[in-house]
Structure 1
Amino acid sequence: MTHQPLVTPAWLFERLTAPDIVVLDASWYLPAAGRDPEAEYAAAHIPGAVRFDLDAMSDTESPLPHMLPRPEVFASRMRALGIGDGQQVVVYDGQGLFSAPRVWWMLKTFGMRDALVLDGGLPAWVAAGYPTEDGEAQPRTRRHFTARLDHGAVADAADVARALETSSAQVVDARSGPRFRGEEAEPRPGVRPGHMPGAKNVHYAALQRDGRMKSPEELAEVFSANGVDPARPVVTTCGSGVTAAIVGLALETMGHPIRGLYDGSWSEWGADTSRPVAKG
């Protein structure tokens, strides 16, 4: 069993001024959402929250979206945000549970084990009547951040292909049913529609209710209905590695950490014509 990775607004409010707590606003949206996370942060964020720009904190040299940067690059960027060793980090986003799980996974993958996610994000915080503040992010004192990459937490295309071929792990795709089945065109040019042959489909939205994670019992029903056994090893994937982390977070709340997250996800697999694609 792992420790419970989700915290409530009440839990965070009680600890908001603790010196070892850092809150990250990790809001990020798909272009179709028409939302500006930087402007939203400036208008209202949890008091003291540090702005974490997912795009800027990813590998800016990779042609694929949101890929993990090199450890030394991530460490440098975290130090610049004033985040370092020995702190407890609580991540939230403006949608509820969308991009925050990806950042939680990034932190854990680089060795920050005391990383948590605010269940329901900023909407739940506001609905509970807790305060927000406006304005730009305030500069913070640099702290030492040690980045220790857990290579086992990051799956590549070869790992996924091996899992599918040998059934050593279940590959769970978090995209919507129509995208998984290849009924919709992919948003990135040159990426074929469809899915990896043998992958299971669990849409990330099915794991939530009103932007909050469903109970472990309800999650078990969702996974079972989609042919996934949470007790067996799971590798998660999605369009670009963001919502795959929601599936990972759901499994961790059930006490079943994932074997790995496929960082390149469908943006890489679907563009690689040497990789097989299934539809339906």
Structure 2
Amino acid sequence: MNFKNSMWIVLFLSAMVSCKRGKDTTSQEIKTYASVKHLMEVEELLEIHKHEKVVIVDFRKDEEYKKGHIEGAINIWRTDIEDTSYPYGGMMAKKVDIETFFSKLGIKNDAILVVYDNKGSSDAARLWWLLKSYGFESVKLLNGGLSAWRQIGGSTSYEMTKTEPSIFTLPVKDALDAWIGKEELLGMVNSSNNVIILDARTEEEFSGKRRKEGATKAGRIPKSIHVDWARSIDYEGTKKFRTFPELEAIYSELEASRDDTIIVYCHTGVRSAHTTFVLTELLGYEQVRNYDGSWTEWSQFDNLPFEKDSVQF
């Protein structure tokens, strides 16, 4: 089955539960998002999780997966989708390596991936963004993650999910409009063009008070505007995405129109992938690109400009 046909399956499975959305308060809120094509509620997954085309991905560390996961879920972690040829960590894996890895996991071209974590989808969004960058669109984030699944009585397991090898291939054409590298970003920093550079890290990282492991110095990319990624979810509660009006109020701080170019970064492109999801999928911004290397890469090069507010501790 080709990619076009797999998308028809996505639409069919979504239609199976659409009749229930009008009766659910959360679902009514989701309807106000620009798109829910890549977002799934736990109630929806409960209806379709045993469908043969649905592949549930637990995007957490192996030790967390072994402590309990959604029944039938396979386990993937950041290190599985990284390019280790760089002298610093966090860079996205090459297309051929993703294809080889997914084939070992038994993922097929027509699979519908439902990805979750337990951190408000920050890690899961990294996998969504990487696959989007390579043109694979059949991915949905599970809103609220493992906690939300457990709250509705979804079945969990401690057993490793068994799979059979497959042949997985990514689309021929990349969709790298979601990606940006340091050279192009440097040109934007040095230009007078109206480009918004968004730092999705914590305030301490943005100001230069904190240097996380992997970076060679603390600080931020010049011209950066700060909006912590965690503001976009109910961080202390459900870990679900905030409503459209709440998100719109938060990101109104950018003073951006829906077609302005927005470059997002964080420490290693994980939290910024989450912000990219929020801006493009939930709010409908059209020109959003995630800087893969983010601060970890940028900090390695003395010729790249940076700013900081105070001495790190």
**Same fold (TM > 0.5):** yes
Q: Which residue pairs with 2:274 in the alignment?
A: 246
Q: 1:4 Cα shift? A: 3.2
Q: Which residue pairs with 1:159 in the alignment?
A: 184
* Structure 2 Cα separation of the partners of residues 153 and 267 of structure 1: 19
1:194-213 residue pairs with structure 2 within 5 A? 194-209=219-234, 210=237, 211-213=239-241
* Structure 2 Cα separation of the partners of residues 16 and 100 of structure 1: 17
* Structure 1 Cα separation of the partners of residues 65 and 51 of structure 2: 22
Deviation string 1:125-171 (CA, Å, 9 cap, x unpaired) is: 11222110111231334133225432332201122122332334311
Q: Which residue pairs with 1:275 in the alignment?
A: 304
Which of the numbers 183, 188, 201 marks the counterpart of 2:214?
188
| Cα 1:189/1:107, change in 2 over 3 Å | closer
Q: More deviation in 227-236 or 214-223? A: 227-236
* Structure 1 Cα separation of the partners of residues 183 and 194 of structure 2: 13
> Residue type of the partner of 1:99?
D
1:85-124 residue pairs with structure 2 within 5 A? 85-124=109-148
Deviation string 1:230-259 (CA, Å, 9 cap, x unpaired) is: 542211100011111110111121122453
| Cα 1:169/1:65, change in 2 over 3 Å | same
User: Does the Cα contact within 8 Å between 1:99 and 1:242 map onto a contact in 2?
Assistant: yes
| Cα 1:118/1:142, change in 2 over 3 Å | same
Compute the RMSD of aligned alpha carbons. 1.8
* Structure 2 Cα separation of the partners of residues 138 and 258 of structure 1: 40
Provide the secondary structure at the position in 1 that maps to 2:209. Answer: coil
Q: Which residue pairs with 1:221 in the alignment?
A: 249
Provide the secondary structure at the position in 2 that maps to 1:78. Answer: helix
1:1-280 residue pairs with structure 2 within 5 A? 3-27=36-60, 37-148=61-172, 149-164=174-189, 165-188=191-214, 190=216, 192-209=217-234, 210=237, 211-225=239-253, 227-251=255-279, 252-280=281-309
User: Does the Cα contact within 8 Å between 1:75 and 1:147 map onto a contact in 2?
Assistant: no
| Cα 1:217/1:97, change in 2 over 3 Å | same
* Structure 2 Cα separation of the partners of residues 265 and 207 of structure 1: 20
Q: 1:196 Cα shift? A: 0.9
Deviation string 1:202-261 (CA, Å, 9 cap, x unpaired) is: 111111113111112111111123555554221110001111111011112112245321
* Structure 2 Cα separation of the partners of residues 139 and 83 of structure 1: 9
* Structure 2 Cα separation of the partners of residues 183 and 42 of structure 1: 36
User: Does the Cα contact within 8 Å between 1:93 and 1:99 map onto a contact in 2?
Assistant: yes
Provide the secondary structure at the position in 2 that maps to 1:95. Answer: coil
Provide the secondary structure at the position in 1 that maps to 2:157. Answer: coil
User: Does the Cα contact within 8 Å between 2:83 and 2:91 map onto a contact in 1?
Assistant: yes
* Structure 1 Cα separation of the partners of residues 169 and 108 of structure 2: 4
Q: 1:48 Cα shift? A: 0.9
Question: Structure 1: which 5+ residue stretches go unaligned?
Answer: 28-36
Q: 1:96 Cα shift? A: 2.9
> Residue type of the partner of 1:93?
D
Q: 1:56 Cα shift? A: 2.1
> Residue type of the partner of 2:247?
L
* Structure 1 Cα separation of the partners of residues 215 and 176 of structure 2: 29
User: Does the Cα contact within 8 Å between 1:237 and 1:244 map onto a contact in 2?
Assistant: yes
User: Does the Cα contact within 8 Å between 1:58 and 1:69 map onto a contact in 2?
Assistant: yes
> Residue type of the partner of 1:186?
K
> Residue type of the partner of 1:124?
A
Provide the secondary structure at the position in 2 that maps to 1:166. Answer: coil
> Residue type of the partner of 1:217?
P
Provide the secondary structure at the position in 1 that maps to 2:169. Answer: coil
- The structure carrying a bigger helix percent of its residues is 2
Q: 1:39 Cα shift? A: 2.0
* Structure 2 Cα separation of the partners of residues 226 and 178 of structure 1: 19
* Structure 1 Cα separation of the partners of residues 259 and 247 of structure 2: 13
